Amino acid sequence: MCGITLRTSARCSKRLDRIFGSAGLAAIILSVMAGAGSALASPQSPRLGDALLTVGAAGPTPAWIEFCTHMPQECAHNPSEPDTIVLDQEIWKTIVDVNERVNKEILPVTDQDHWGVADRWDYPDDGLGDCEDIQLLKRRLLTQAGLPQRALRMTVVIDELGAGHAVLMARTDRGDYILDNKRKAVLPWQQTGYRYVKREGSDSADWVWLGNQAAPIVTATK
């Protein structure tokens, strides 16, 4: 789904050793939650935004269906969870930190280069992944930090190049925010410049159509 190129193998090998040593993902989770050794700047408070309206049922991507077949617990719908996150400064900082840290730690690579297939949704446990793999990891880290998975929705968009792209939508009481591997800033959906196609539903395991709603074009934040 994502047009991303593979970085050099030597750099990859060294960085994987540093990222996924004996501590593995647990070290990332703890450092994100505690902020230990982080060089991240303090995030600004989120701006009040709007929720992205849904306009009916939509079919998931074939790669999502395959992912759910192998990992059904990751696609289960839990109606007892809240469908929105009540934002405070601590939760906002966790979201921003996870977005930036995962973007730094996972080396971007296309599914074709990584798996030898056009589209596969999976966790980047080897430190490599494309857009949907990176967003899946962010969601896993955020749920392990205590945020409700029901409010963290995988979302398909059309990017500024007219290509399919996956982002993670955090549905909050201050609007819908987008975690993206193309920029470190967590933005309200209206500020991404993307055209929104569909996302996981909040009321069932089905996906919902977003009506191809467009956001204004903005410059990616590095």
Q: What is the pLDDT of residues 2-60, one digit of tens each?
A: 743 333 334 333 433 333 343 444 444 444 344 433 333 334 555 556 888 898 999 99
127 CB-contact burial (10 Å; exposed 0-12 / middle 13-18 / buried 19+): middle
Domain that holds residue 121: 50-214
pLDDT given at position 4: 36
User: How many folded domains does the chain comprise?
Assistant: 1
Whether 6 is covered by a domain: the verdict is no
The reply to whether 1 falls in a domain is: no
Tell me whether residue 194 is in a domain: yes
Q: Does residue 99 sit within a domain?
A: yes
Residue 109 lies in a domain: yes
In a domain, 137, yes or no: yes
CATH code at 188? 3.10.620.30
The reply to whether 30 falls in a domain is: no
With residues binned 3-state (H G I as helix, E B as strand, rest as coil), the percentages for the chain, rounded to 5, are 35, 20, 45
What parts of the chain have a pLDDT lower than 70?
A: 1, 3-49, 216-222
Amino acid letter, 24: G
Q: Is 156 a member of any domain?
A: yes
